[in-house]
Amino acid sequence: MSDLRVAVLGVGVMGADHVARLTTKISGARVAVVNDFVTEKAEQIAAGIDGCRAITDPLDAIADPDVDAVVLATPGPTHEKQLLACLEHGKPVLCEKPLTTDVATSLEVVKREAELGRRLIQVGFMRRFDHEYARLKALLDSGELGRALVLHCAHRNPAVPPYFDSAMIVRDSLVHEVDVTRFLFDEEITSIQIVKPAASPGAPEGLADPQIAIMRTASGRHVDVELFVTTGVAYEVRTEVVAEKGSAMIGLDVGLVRTRGDGTRGGQITPGFRERFGQAYDTEFQRWVDAVHRGSATGDFTDGPSAWDGYAAAAVCEAGVESLDSGLPVEVAMVDRATIAGA
């Protein structure tokens, strides 16, 4: 089977990583085209890869006859137009989260894909591909712990860029726990409340950090998430499920070297997202490439989070931002999936 010719749009932090990943680690694909708003950046990256071209217009890159599939690593506000172009040209696309930046356009994308009768859009919620999350999901599905009742999560970053505001803690950070909740529990989130404790003295002026998110699922399960994005320490993502017959926790020992000789134990917490989730991105991309190769036969060019998952996450985050302002629990407004044939 010939290599999938991939166009990567947006070669900033994530896109440049994905180009390197596709070039050095993933089999069955190569980067044929790169595009970036900053043309020189794309040209520089293309020059380092055999058979790769820089194309200035993102829509031309998607339409190019020598492009089989697309990776979107552009900023969220550009996704809607680029996703619709991928659908129009029938090109499979792995879109970094978010699907789009608002609920209405996310729903429109879901509907447009459903009309095609082929699954072309995968959203980059990569935690589903992390070995620890996959094992936790398998454990829950095995029934060994009985019914899962409660999810406790912590999401801590050492620092965030200066433009990061309080709503981005919901839309860019919490969004991952939103997807994790839906993945682990296989049901929708129906309400969300954001609680704002006293801000950390280390947080920039005006940033509500930390935040506590409290969510409830359709069957009444409870989820709480501590979000703290300016810890100054390390990148810690912990997830604990409390179930009827026991509990299970992941994210505690990643990269941890236990030392007990002097009566203490300790080690290093993963310093950044690459150390914590590098494997998850690699697995996500390999499985996506494999799914696209199978797609012509199956009609499904994805293996993972769908456009619907992107829409659901947008709906929960929208309600979360409303609660961030009011402090009150907010019901999540979503359409009934059954009303969209093929979604």
**Closest CB to ligand NAD: residue number:** 12
Footprint of ligand NAD on 62-91 (CB under 6 A): 73-76, 78
In the complex with ligand NAD, which residue's Cβ is closer, 76 or 148? 76
In the complex with ligand NAD, which residue's Cβ is closer, 15 or 92? 15
In the complex with ligand NAD, which residue's Cβ is closer, 126 or 330? 126
In the complex with ligand NAD, which residue's Cβ is closer, 61 or 243? 61
Listed residue (302, 277, 267, 249) closest to 71, CA to CA: 302
Stretch that binds ligand NAD, among 11-19, 196-204, 230-238, 318-326 (CB under 6 A): 11-19
Per-residue tokens: 32: 């044929």
Site string for ligand NAD, 264-293 (x = CB under 6 A): ------------------------------
Q: How far is the CB of 125 from ligand NAD (least distance, A)?
A: 7
In the complex with ligand NAD, which residue's Cβ is closer, 73 or 343? 73
Number of residues forming the site for ligand NAD (CB under 6 A):
23
Beta carbons of 182 and 312 less than 8 angstroms apart: yes
Q: How far is the CB of 143 from ligand NAD (least distance, A)?
A: 30
171: which strand partners? none
Among 5, 8, 10, 211, which residue interacts with ligand NAD (rule: CB under 6 A)?
A: 10
Stretch that binds ligand NAD, among 8-16, 102-110, 148-156, 237-245 (CB under 6 A): 8-16
Listed residue (171, 316, 180, 309) closest to 239, CA to CA: 180
Site string for ligand NAD, 301-340 (x = CB under 6 A): ----------------------------------------
Q: How far is the CB of 277 from ligand NAD (least distance, A)?
A: 7
Site string for ligand NAD, 118-157 (x = CB under 6 A): ------x-x-------------------------------
Q: How far is the CB of 122 from ligand NAD (least distance, A)?
A: 12
Q: How far is the CB of 117 from ligand NAD (least distance, A)?
A: 27
Q: Does 44 bind ligand NAD (CB under 6 A)?
A: no
- Cα separation, 86 vs 12, in Å, equals 20
Q: How far is the CB of 31 from ligand NAD (least distance, A)?
A: 15
- Exposure of 265 in the CB half-sphere (CA atoms within 13 A): 6
User: CA 234, 239, 240 angle in degrees (round to 5)?
Assistant: 135
- Cα separation, 140 vs 60, in Å, equals 45
Listed residue (72, 110, 105, 68) closest to 89, CA to CA: 68
Q: What residues line the site for ligand NAD (CB under 6 A)?
A: 9-15, 35-38, 41, 58, 73-76, 78, 96-97, 124, 126, 172
